[in-house]
Structure 1
Amino acid sequence: MKNAVTVILILLSTSHYGSCAKILGVFSASGRSHYILDSALMKALAEKGHDVTVISAHGEKEPPKTKGTYRSIVVTEILENRKEMMKQLNTNMFDREDVNPFLSTVFMGLFMPKMLEATLQNEEVQKLIHSNEKFDAVIAEQFFSDADKALATHFGAPLIVLSAVGANSWVNTIVGNPSPTSYIPMLQTDYSVPMTFCERLVNSLLYVFGQIFFDLVVYPNENAKIQKSIPNGPDISDVLYNASIVLMNSHPSLNQPVPYVPNMIDIGGFHVQPPKKLPQDLQEFLDNAKDGVIYFSMGSNLKSADFPPEKRDAILRTLSKLKEQVLWKWEEDVLPGQPKNVKLSKWLPQQDILAHPNVKLFITHGGFLSTTETVYHGVPILAIPIFGDQKLNARTAMDNGYGLVLPYQEITEDRFTQSIQEILNNPKYRNNAKKISETFHDRQVSPMETAIYWVEYVIRHKGAPHLRVAGLDLPWYKYYLLDVIGFLVLVSTVVVCISYYLVKAVCKKVCNKRKTKKLKQK
């Protein structure tokens, strides 16, 4: 009997060990929206029973209660560096609305290495790097932050990449996925499909510029951070293409259908949680709004309080004329000229608000998280996009019929009023939002279950090298068949030249014979 108990205990402990993995998440992006995605995945893995370590700019007020362990290393230097950089730029975030996409690429390429250095040089991160800890997988976000991936090589663990958006040139390059610029707009643009000739031209130039800029500037810069921060650090060329899988916050209901290689996995909406009970004041405000509620938020990076006075006044005059109640994320204590139908709050539980049946419209900046959440709940949007992928997300919403776009520079009382009334009074927007929402929810399993399955799949299969496409091992000139094209052009040129000289020689010979014959006849 004693032996039987011992065997059972051994089997149970072995089973736990086999199902529990040590997973490191390293996320250098400073944006709160990025952390929402990153932490959602890591918390879910910890809840599944895995031991999780998270390196990021943000932390949890209280450690989440999970079956596994959840350790947080907060790199406060990331936010300090971001604050200092924004101070040096001395610019309002709304001023980035008309930034050239080429300059935007340069800005991010120069900005992110500072965040990476802050992460890798952090005291607690350095202790981890120099420790003897082992990890079964390392998860890093794909956001101008390839140096983070070196930790997977350092710890001898498979690399899993998390992308906050869908397939794009940043992701496609690292897994060998086709990225035709003829019909896939770059994230920095707001092009719809099909693109015009000029749009395809700019799109292609932007892609080529990005590839050259990364190769000549970004990667060497990030490589220097790796060598400085990690003992015997790998060269970035040995890090870039090591991703076992890419988990993408995308779905065909949200994104244009594009090619995928086998290790690209859609998990769009994985961060969305079932609605929770609202605070009493918000619950009463939403319940008692007999004419409906308009929810207004510009996200976590942009602040409504930073609207210039002329834009803010135009917005206020419009809101004051509405019969609907307005719930506005406003980051200051006072809003001058606040209408009676507007309720303010510095923070709002967005997902739970969008789930309320009285919410008729979401006025948003068009960030991908906000777009995902509004699609999840089937609420139409009025987008005021400013930078990044916001313009492309907003254009997609308009093309799919569940929203309108109001360019920031065109915000006036008349345009704002017209846009709101069009969405509220035309049922097609809400109907389309509901149809898209149904498509979004129609899946075999939840996106979070999909994400967890594939993380565990990579761990079980020691990196799952069988998912890697052969294109990653080809130099760029072979990948694009430039050597084959060059050979065919050369052969064709030689054949044409030989044919030309043969024909010329034959013609010359015939002509000479004719001349000789004529001379003889004379």
Structure 2
Amino acid sequence: MYFKSISLVCTFCTILLQSAPPTSQHQVLMLPINMNSHHIYFARLGQGLSKLGHYVEMIVPSNAKISQEFSNGSFVITKYHVESNVSVFNTKETSDFLTSFSLNKPNGFQYMKRGIAMFNYLVEGTDTDCRTLMTNKELIDQLMHNRSFDLAILDVMSTDCYVFLPKLLKIKYFLFSISFETWFFGIPRLPSFVPSNRATHSDRMTFSQRFQTFVADGLTMLTYMVLPRPPFSKEFFNQTFKSEFFFDTFKNVSYYLFLEDLTLGYPRPNMPNTMSVGDIVVGYPSYPLPYELDKFIGNSNAILVSFGSYVEYLNEETVKKFCSSFQRLENYKFIFKSKNKTLCGDHSKNLLIQPWIPQNDLLADSRIKLFVTHGGFNSMMESVYHAKPVVIFPLINDQISLASYAERHNYGVEMDFGNWKVDELRNNIIRVLTNKTFEESIKRSSDILRDRKTSAAERVSDAINHVVKYGDEHLKSGALDLYWFQFIMFDIFCVLLLTVLFVALIGWANYGKLFYTAREDLFAKKKSPARQYDQKKGKKSYKS
């Protein structure tokens, strides 16, 4: 009996050791841009990597909004002091711009003008954060001398600034964000079958759609190349890395981690140093709802309404339209995330407005039947994971393509934020709730998403271990050394076109010469001996 017990204990320990994740104990530095949704992406990744044995430290400004969920000590969050109390991405000005941009739908020159103005406003804010970080000598000294980081993971939206740290620390770095402008990274996601993140096309495009995608991708690359860099980033970069061209920072990236998933996008090719990790934001445990929310829902069916962290303020007219639509659906409870708590007056019994909500916990609740959303990546992934149909009001960037994909695959209905009516929203909510096609379609995608053999954190952990151990040169293709026109074979097609034109020109010249010669011969024959007709003999005769 004693030996049997020992044997059982040994067997149990062996199983535990075999099933336990490998611990590599690499030290990873993470630097997200100061945006709520990006904090979630990076925090989820940090949480997953720390559980796999890595030491993870995330550096953020002091005004970053980090959920209490990530303050449990699983990984380190270090904040550096900034003067502003709110991130530039969460200001009322940013929220007002996005809503007005979606409501007014500017076209052509006005679209570019307003877009560049907003871009400069956001860049100015991030450049201020960059200056504060890189001039914080105490923190920089700690990172350089009191840590032994093996690798850094940067937000692609803040490469201008955060690339300085891994270069100063002399460590390799990954980029992590949505998969836009992949030509920069030498990835053959060609406009012939990969639609733009800001377009509504599918991967089966017409000629005009392929042309639009080609032009849009090319103009986007050109814009990034000609727009002036933020003042401090440019100054610091030139002082510290004088011999390196800015776009070489993309060539030196060891791995690209893209926020994308097959359940929310069309199939796309990857390279040995690229990885899709969109599922990093789902698969985590949900928690019981706060008492106020739980009591409000009670035994009713409920609908969640949220437009993400970008749009925390909506204009008065829009909020009142939403409230009016919700009040016409008395059989459902509505939980509306908004800081405009007073615009609807006395709330009806079926409407609760909150400045903050535990979105994942609510979507995991079986009483939530539908999600009215802006279509952000995090929101859409959570919707798919929890199999909640959607009504989508896309505002900007990848929300446009995500909304189009969701409607095309029957996850829900897309609506125009700048042009909708109260009864239209009410009718669409009823349509999505009563038509089983939407529920079945998103449930199937939920099953696909949940049926993964490895987690995103495990895949990233393997990439970290590989790069730290073996380096990254064998993972990079020659595409990184090509100019954009070489990468898409524009130069080859130009040579082919010129060749065809040259051959056609030679052929035309020869044809013209032959035609001219034949014409001259015919003309000469007509003029040589004059034809005479002998009427008496009824014969033709020629007189010299």
TM-score bin, normalised by smaller chain: 0.7 to 0.9
Q: Does 1:402 align with 2:417?
A: no
Question: For the Cα contact (< 8 Å) 2:202–2:266, is it kept in 1?
Answer: no
1:375: how far off?
0.4
CA contact (8 A) 1:175 1:468 kept: no
> Residues 58-83 of structure 1, C-alpha deviation per residue, up to 9 Å, x if partnerless?
2658784446x624134635775727
- AA of the residue aligned to 1:117: D
Residue 478 of structure 1: which of 458, 482, 486 is its match?
A: 486
1:215 matched to 2:225? The reply is: yes
Between the aligned partners of 2:59 and 2:209, the Cα distance in structure 1 is 39
8 Å contact kept, 1:45–1:52: yes
Q: Is 1:426 paired with 2:426?
A: no
Per the alignment, residue 474 of structure 2 pairs with 466
Match of 2:4 in 1: none
Q: In structure 2, what is the Cα distance between the partners aligned to 1:449 and 1:108? A: 37
Residue among 43, 54, 57 paired with 2:58: 54
Equivalent residue in structure 2 for 1:324, among 329, 332, 349: 332
Matching residue within 11, 24, 32 for 1:27: 32
- Corresponding residue for 1:275? 286
- Structure 1: distance between partners of 2:375 and 2:510: 66
- What amino acid does structure 2 have at the position aligned with 1:363? V
Q: CA deviation at 1:359?
A: 0.9
Q: Between the two proteins, what is the percent identity of the paired residues?
A: 22
1:91-110 matched pairs, under 5 angstroms: 91-97=96-102, 98-100=105-107, 102-103=112-113, 106-107=116-117, 109-110=119-120
SS at match of 1:243: coil
State the Cα distance separating 1:315 from its structure 2 match.
2.3
Query: Do the aligned partners of residues 137 and 500 (structure 1) sit closer, same or farther apart at CA in structure 2, a change above 3 Å counting?
Result: same
Write out per-residue CA displacement over residues 221-275 of structure 1, whole angstroms, 9 at most, x where no aligned residue. 6861542674768431321222211111211111111222222211112122221
Matched AA of 1:313: K
Residue 76 of structure 2 is matched in structure 1 by 70
Change (3 A) 1:112 1:367: same
Contact between 1:174 and 1:243, CA under 8 Å: does it hold in 2? no
From 181, 186, 191, the equivalent of 1:181 is 191
- 1:148 equivalenced with 2:146 (yes/no): no
Find the residue that maps to 1:270 and give its secondary structure: helix
- Aligned-residue offset at 1:193: 4.9
- Cα deviations by residue, 1:5-57 (Å, 9 ceiling, x for unpaired): xxxxxxxxxxxxx92222222223x3211111122212333343333332224
- Distance in 1, matches of 2:185 and 2:366, equals 42
Aligned 8 A contact 1:154 1:233 in 2: no
Q: How far did 1:371 drift?
A: 0.5
CA distance in 2, matches of 1:470, 1:81: 39
Which consecutive residues of structure 1, in runs of 5 or more, have no partner in the other structure? Answer: 1-17
CA–CA separation in structure 2 for the residues paired with 1:409 and 1:120? 35
1:287-366 aligned within 5 A: 288-290=298-300, 292-303=301-312, 306-309=314-317, 311-322=318-329, 323-334=331-342, 335-366=344-375
Would you say 1:256 and 2:266 are equivalent positions?
A: yes
Question: Shift of the alpha carbon at 1:308?
Answer: 2.5
Which residue does the alignment assign to 1:40?
Answer: 44
Q: Deviations over 1:401-435 (max 9, x none)?
A: 01111212233221111111111111111111111
CA distance in 2, matches of 1:235, 1:389: 29
| Residues matched between the structures, number | 494
- Give the letter for the 1:241 counterpart: K
Gap regions ≥5 residues in structure 2: 1-22, 530-542
CA distance in 2, matches of 1:106, 1:235: 24
- Rounded to whole Å, the distance in 2 between the matches of 1:112 and 1:400 is 34
Provide the rounded CA distance (Å) in 2 between the counterparts of 1:344 and 1:501.
77
Alignment partners' CA distance in 1, 2:186 and 2:114? 24
Equivalent of 1:414 in 409, 418, 423? 423
The residue matched to 1:143 in structure 2 has which SS? Answer: helix
- The answer on whether the counterparts of 1:223 and 1:235 sit within 8 Å (CA) in structure 2 is no
Whether the 8 Å CA contact 2:124–2:230 is kept in 1: the answer is no
**How far off its partner does 1:176 sit?**
0.7
Please give the root-mean-square deviation of Cα atoms over the aligned residues, in Å. Answer: 3.5
Structure 1 residue 439 displacement after superposition: 1.2
| 1:34 maps to amino acid | H
| CA positional deviation for 1:482 | 3.8
Which TM-score applies when normalising by structure 1? 0.83
1:507, distance to aligned residue in structure 2 (A): 7.3
Quote the Cα distance in structure 2 between the aligned partners of 1:343 and 1:84: 22
In the alignment, which residue of structure 2 is the partner of 1:190? 200
Distance 1:499 1:295 in 2: 69
Structure 2 CA distance for partners of 1:433 and 1:496, relative to 1, 3 Å:
closer
Match of 2:153 in 1: 139
Separation (CA, whole Å) in 1 of partners of 2:119 and 2:456: 30
